[in-house]
Amino acid sequence: MSPVLTTDAVSGNDRLGCWRETMAEGRVPVAVTSGGKGPFDGRIVTARVGFLRVSTVEADAHRVSRTASHIARSTDRFVVIGVQVSGRTGLTQDGRRAEAGPGDLFVHDTARPYFLEHPERFATRAVHIPRRALGLPDEELRRVTGTAIGSDHGCAAVLRPFLTTLVDSADSYAPASASRLASSVVDLFAVLVAEQPRDAGADAGGSRGHLVARVRDHIDRKLGDPALSPEDIAKAHHISVRYLHRIFEDEGVTVGRLIQRRRLEECARELARGGRDKPSVSSVAQRWGFVNPAHFSRVFRGAYGLSPREWRSLRTGTNGGSGAFV
């Protein structure tokens, strides 16, 4: 891994400003404010493992915030798994606040606003998973965002040392091995999500939030229907199409885009399964509501950077692909 930034070569008065500029210019733009006194000291090291972006951060106390305006300026969506090595990290997202101590995992989604507070010098390792590589619906993902997870049992006990080794040894993997390791992280993360209890009280949006959840559930149940549309959804919930679009204004995605994205996620998940009796690409597409094979192939490549067949080969390891699709 190669250092992206170290403040050692910057004069004391300019160190925080240098750190702030580097963070603001990254793939996930954020705002940074100082959390302590005296010259700021920090170091970021980054690398890639297949389609994952990994990093080690060691720095003095500071605060990081990602707002709606930051999100609007970036097109990349990542789910970030942090491993707290030392110090503490306070995470706020989706109406929840959690604090991670040494050994804990914490998870946030860059597609929605969040706030990180490091009240003291700290060290973390972070793995950025492209959101499109996860075959998880948003309602499942929200079970872990804005939370800290202890690593003394369950999947977290496996995932924490695995991620630590992955980040620390990122430069040592051959492309084919890196691709398979990245896919393993995705699979382990899905297990981690499945282990978390459902929190019905996490949605602070009241009746509006419950309606959004009902619409999302309706979309998931009707994904295979090619006729699924905002008009049909609004009719099923006895609301106007205009109001349907209004309640999704803060969700970061339109209803039409959500339907397509969920269909693509389910197709990607099914195509990634191994085994002898693998369904054809066209049958998978039709099962999840795509009636035109050419259209399906085009939108799949637009979302994942690979054709459906290339994605299947990558995830099932049938051709030893490089996995670099972001």
> CA-to-CA distance for 190 and 196, rounded, in angstroms?
10
Tokens 């993902």, residue located: 141
Tokens 């099932």, residue located: 316
Same domain, 123 and 252: no
Same domain, 225 and 187: no
User: What is the domain-level CATH number for residue 10?
Assistant: 2.60.120.10
Q: Looking at the domain assignment, is residue 321 inside a domain?
A: no
Percent of the chain whose predicted confidence (pLDDT) is above 90 = 51
Same domain, 215 and 156: no
Same domain, 131 and 214: no
Same domain, 169 and 107: yes
From the CB of residue 240, how many other CB atoms can be counted at a distance below 10 Å? 12
Decide: 170 and 49 in contact? Cβ < 8 Å: yes
Same domain, 210 and 119: no
Q: Looking at the domain assignment, is residue 54 inside a domain?
A: yes
- Give me the chain's average pLDDT, please: 85
- Which residue in 108, 94, 116, 99 sits closest to 31, CA to CA? 116
Compare 204 and 52 and report the one with higher pLDDT.
Answer: 52
Cα separations (Å) of 67 from 33, 73, 128, 216? 14, 10, 18, 24
- Which residue in 43, 53, 52 sits closest to 4, CA to CA? 43
**What average pLDDT does the segment 297-316 reach?**
90
Q: What is the pLDDT of residues 10-53, one digit of tens each?
A: 766 677 777 777 676 666 888 888 776 777 888 888 899 999 99
The amino acid occupying position 211 is L
**Three-class SS state of 312:** helix
Q: What is residue 137's predicted lDDT score, i.e. its pLDDT?
A: 80
Give the residue numbers spanning the domain of 302: 206-316
pLDDT band at 325 (very low <50, low <70, confident <90, very high): very low
pLDDT band at 324 (very low <50, low <70, confident <90, very high): very low
Compare 176 and 27 and report the one with higher pLDDT.
Answer: 176
Q: Which of 35-44, 167-176, 307-316 has the highest mean pLDDT?
A: 167-176
Q: Looking at the domain assignment, is residue 326 inside a domain?
A: no
From the CB of residue 65, how many other CB atoms can be counted at a distance below 10 Å? 15
Percent of the chain whose predicted confidence (pLDDT) is above 70 = 87
Tokens 């605060």, residue located: 63
Decide: 63 and 117 in contact? Cβ < 8 Å: yes
Same domain, 87 and 216: no
User: What is the domain-level CATH number for residue 301?
Assistant: 1.10.10.60
Same domain, 23 and 154: yes
Q: Please say which residue of 195, 216, 235 terminates a domain.
A: 195
For 66-173, where are the alpha helices, taking DSSP H only? Answer: 68-72, 138-141, 154-168
Q: What order do you get walking across the sheet with 96-100 strand by strand?
A: 31-34, 62-66, 114-118, 89-93, 96-100
Decide: 94 and 136 in contact? Cβ < 8 Å: no
CA angle, 234 then 236 then 239, to 5°: 40
Same domain, 47 and 117: yes
Tokens of 270: 């099914």
Q: Please say which residue of 135, 169, 195 terminates a domain.
A: 195
Q: What is the pLDDT of residues 89-111, one digit of tens each?
A: 999 988 788 899 999 999 999 99
**Three-class SS state of 180:** helix
Listed in sequence order, the residues at least 6 apart from 221 whose beta carbon sits closer than 8 Å to its beta carbon are none
Q: Please say which residue of 173, 195, 217 terminates a domain.
A: 195
Same domain, 144 and 172: yes
Q: Which residues pair with 313 in a beta bridge?
A: none
Q: What is the pLDDT of residues 114-158, one digit of tens each?
A: 999 999 999 999 999 999 888 788 878 888 999 999 998 899 999
DSSP 184-218: HHHHHHHHHHHHSPP-TT--TTHHHHHHHHHHHHH
- Which residue in 188, 161, 164, 166 sits closest to 177, CA to CA? 166
Tokens of 326: 């972001």
> CA-to-CA distance for 58 and 85, rounded, in angstroms?
9
Domain count, the chain: 2
Same domain, 177 and 310: no
Q: What is the pLDDT of residues 250-278, one digit of tens each?
A: 777 899 999 999 999 999 989 988 667 78
Same domain, 174 and 228: no
State yes or no: pLDDT of 63 exceeds 50: yes
- Which residue in 268, 258, 266 sits closest to 301, CA to CA? 268
- Which residue in 127, 122, 121, 130 sits closest to 106, CA to CA? 127
